[in-house]
């Protein structure tokens, strides 16, 4: 496989998890096959899910990044395996649909320190492969009115939501107006209800890749936690 334009480390549900089928239909794309999936027949669903569709249904552990050079791709994959080999699988709380200042996402219903530790390990141990953000990327990120702590994370780690500023979430929509949210929030709760309370173990991490700039992210490799 040629070196991708960008790589990311995600948590994503297993292929046989009901959440995988429901999320692919919600977003309109299967990130395993990159095939389109028919969405619910609701007004504007394709538009409000356009941005998360391109990233695939996931929770970010190590945010999308360019590699320092194309030859780093093989070493990066080996490093991800090394991270996974040191972390043991763990139980995670059920999910619920949450409103994150107008963006709908699935979040855990109780704090889960192992999730935080997993994200921290991915960020810290894989950062040597990350190319620094461009000035344009810094400017774009800073339009979000970052706190001093978030800006420091952006400068050091290339992304503002790391470590103490990170939180687990699986994005479902762009930011919604109050009128849109009044319709879409209960619809999302109903749509995902069959899968939200299922017990689950976090037993692997996923490498997602963007083959070329602007292309959707797809699952490249699923790596078992072996600690």
What are the tens digits of pLDDT across the range 153-196?
999 999 999 999 999 999 999 999 999 999 999 999 999 999 99
- Residues contacting residue 182 through CB under 8 Å, at least 6 positions apart: none
40: in domain: yes
pLDDT confidence bin for 220, thresholds 50/70/90: very high
53: in domain: yes
Q: Alpha-carbon distance 126 to 62, whole Å?
A: 8
Mean pLDDT, residues 86-95 taken together: 95
132: in domain: no
CATH number at residue 70: 3.90.1140
How many helices (H) and strands (E) the chain has is answered by 8, 11
186: in domain: yes
Single pTM value for the model: 0.95
Q: Alpha-carbon distance 193 to 197, whole Å?
A: 8
The β-bridge partners of 201 are 91
**What is the number of domains present in the chain?**
1
Residue 210 token pair: 């963007």
Give residue 39's domain range.
6-110+169-203
What are the tens digits of pLDDT across the range 28-79?
999 999 999 999 999 899 999 999 999 999 999 999 999 999 889 999 999 9
């Amino acid at each position: 496989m040629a070196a991708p334009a960008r790589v990311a480390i995600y948590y994503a549900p297993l292929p046989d998890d009901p959440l995988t089928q429901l999320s692919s239909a919600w977003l309109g794309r299967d990130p395993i096959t990159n095939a389109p999936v028919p969405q619910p027949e609701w007004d504007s669903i394709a538009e409000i899910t356009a941005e998360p569709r391109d990233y695939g249904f996931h929770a970010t552990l190590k945010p999308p990044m360019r590699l320092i050079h194309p030859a780093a791709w093989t070493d990066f994959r080996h490093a991800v395996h090394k991270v996974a080999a040191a972390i043991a699988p763990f139980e995670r709380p059920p999910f619920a649909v949450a409103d994150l200042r107008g963006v709908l996402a699935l979040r855990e219903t109780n704090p889960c320190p192992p999730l935080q530790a997993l994200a921290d390990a991915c960020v810290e141990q894989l950062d040597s492969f990350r190319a620094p953000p461009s000035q344009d990327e810094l400017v774009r990120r800073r339009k979000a009115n970052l706190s001093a702590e978030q800006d420091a994370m952006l400068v050091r780690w290339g992304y503002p939501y790391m470590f103490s500023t990170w939180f687990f979430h699986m994005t479902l929509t762009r930011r919604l107006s109050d009128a849109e949210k009044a319709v879409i929030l209960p619809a999302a709760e109903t749509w995902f209800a069959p899968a939200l309370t299922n017990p689950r173990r976090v037993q692997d991490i996923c490498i997602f890749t963007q083959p070329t700039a602007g292309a959707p992210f797809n699952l490249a490799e699923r790596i078992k936690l072996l600690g």
